Structure 1
Amino acid sequence: MTSCAIVQPNSNHGTIENSPQFNDGKFQNSKALDTMSLKKIPEYIKRYLSEKRKDVAPIKPIPVQRISTEALKSLPADSITLFRLGHSSFLLKAENAFWLIDPVFSDRASPFSFIGPKRFHQPPISIEELPEIRGVIISHNHYDHLDKSAIKAMAKKVATFIVPLGIAADLEAWGIDSNKIIELDWWQSSTIAGLELTMTPAQHFSGRGLTDSNKTLWGSWVIKSSKQSVFYSGDSGYFDGFKRIGEKYGPFDLTIIETGAYDKDWPDVHMTPEQSLQAHIDVKGKRMLPAHNGTFDLAFHPWYEPLERITHLGKSASIDIITPIVGEPVAIAANISFLPWWQGLN
Structure 2
Amino acid sequence: MSACSLNANITENLNDKVQSSNFANGKFYNDKRTPGFEWGKTWKILKRYITEPQVNTEPSAVIPVTPMLTEDLLSTEQDSVWRLGHSSMLLKISNEFVLLDPMFSERASPFSMMGPKRFHQPPISIHQLPHIKAVVISHNHYDHLDEASIQQLADRVDQFIVPLGNGADLISWGIHPEKIKELDWWQQTEISDITITATPSQHFSGRGLGDGNKTLWASYVINSPQTKIFFTGDSGYFNGFKEIGKRFGPFDLTLIETGAYDKMWSDVHMQPKESLQTHLDVKGKKMLPVHNGTFNLAFHEWTDPFDQISQLAQEKDVDLLTPKMGDRVTIHDKNQTLAWWQPLKN
TM-score range, shorter chain: over 0.9
1:162-311 pair list within 5 angstroms: 162-311=161-310
Matched, 1:325 2:339: no
**Which sits farther off after the overlay, 46-55 or 246-255?**
46-55
8 Å CA contact 2:252–2:332 kept in 1: the answer is yes
Does residue 136 of the first structure (1) align with residue 135 of the second (2)? yes
Moved more, 32-41 or 178-187: 32-41
Cα displacement string for residues 156-188 of structure 1 (whole angstroms, at most 9, x for unaligned residues) = 011100000000011001110000000000000
Indicate conservation of the 8 Å contact 2:93/2:227, yes or no: no
Matching residue of 1:40? 41
* Cα separation, 2, equivalents of 1:15 and 1:56: 45
Aligned partners of 1:14 and 1:292: how far apart in 2? Answer: 32
Contact 2:87 2:101 in 1 (8 A): yes
CA distance in 2, matches of 1:252, 1:69: 28
Distance 1:166 1:62, change over 3 A: same
Cα offset for 1:38?
Answer: 3.9
* Number of equivalenced pairs: 332
In the alignment, structure 1 segments of 5+ residues that lack a partner are 1-12
Counterpart residue number, 2:119: 120
The CA RMSD over aligned residues, in Å, is 1.3
Distance 1:15 1:252, change over 3 A: farther
Alignment match, 1:6 = none
CA contact (8 A) 2:74 2:130 kept: no
Q: Which has the higher helix share?
A: 2
Structure 1 match to 2:62? 61
Query: Would the aligned equivalents of 1:166 and 1:215 in 2 still touch at CA under 8 Å?
Result: yes
Amino acid at match of 1:75: T
2:151 counterpart SS class? helix
Q: Residue 235 of structure 1 contacts residue 269 of structure 1 at CA under 8 Å; is this kept in 2?
A: yes
Distance 1:14 1:321 in 2: 43
1:14/1:184 contact within 8 Å kept = no
Tell me if the contact between 1:127 and 1:153 (Cα under 8 Å) persists in the aligned partners: yes
* Structure 1 residue 16, shift from structure 2 partner: 4.8
| Aligned twin of 2:50 | 49
For residues 42-83 of structure 1, the C-alpha deviation after alignment (integer angstroms, 9 at most, x for no partner) is: 21121111112210110110000000012112100xx42110
2:22 counterpart letter in structure 1 = Q
Deviations 1:95-114 (A, max 9, x none): 11111000000000000110
Q: Deviations over 1:192-225 (max 9, x none)?
A: 1110000000000000001100000001000001
What SS is found at the alignment partner of 2:76? coil
- Give the TM-score normalised by structure 1: 0.94
Evaluate the alpha carbon distance shift between residue 142 and residue 129 of structure 1 in structure 2; reply closer, same or farther with a 3 A threshold: same
Q: Relative to structure 1, is the Cα distance of residues 198 and 300 closer, same or farther in structure 2, using a 3 angstrom cutoff?
A: same
Displacement of 1:39 in angstroms is 3.6
How many Å separate the matches in 1 of 2:16 and 2:165?
9
Q: Is the 8 A contact 2:201 2:240 kept in 1?
A: yes
Displacement of 1:41 in angstroms is 2.1
Query: 2:278 and 2:122 mapped to 1: Cα distance?
Result: 28
Q: How does 1:6-155 map to 2 (within 5 A)?
A: 16-76=17-77, 79-155=78-154
For residues 36 and 249 of structure 2, the distance between their equivalents in structure 1, rounded to whole angstroms, comes to 29
In the alignment, residue 51 of structure 1 is paired with which amino acid? E
| Percent identical residues | 55
Deviations 1:14-43 (A, max 9, x none): 985211110111000001111333442221
Cα displacement (A) at 1:248: 0.1
Cα shift readout 1:235-280 (whole Å, capped 9, x = no counterpart): 0000000000000000000000000011010110000000000000
Whole-angstrom CA distance in 2 between matches of 1:312 and 1:14: 46
Q: Distance in 1 between matches of 2:106 and 2:133?
A: 25
Evaluate the alpha carbon distance shift between residue 74 and residue 319 of structure 1 in structure 2; reply closer, same or farther with a 3 A threshold.
same
Segments of structure 2 that go 5 or more residues without pairing to the other structure are 1-13
- 3-state SS of paired residue (1:85): strand
Displacement of 1:343 after TM fit?
Answer: 0.8
Matched residues in 1 for 2:122 and 2:313: separation? 27
Distance 1:307 1:95, change over 3 A: same
**Counterpart AA for 1:57:** E
Note the alpha carbon deviations across 1:94-145, whole angstroms, 9 max, x for none.
1111110000000000001101000000000001101111100000000000
| Cα distance in 2 between the residues matched to 1:91 and 1:133 | 9
Partner of 2:340: 341
- Indicate conservation of the 8 Å contact 1:89/1:104, yes or no: yes
Change (3 A) 1:14 1:335: farther
CA distance in 2, matches of 1:101, 1:14: 28
Find the aligned partners of 1:14 and 1:85 in 2 and give their Cα distance.
36
Secondary structure in structure 1 of the residue aligned to 2:310: helix
TM-score by structure 2 length?
0.94
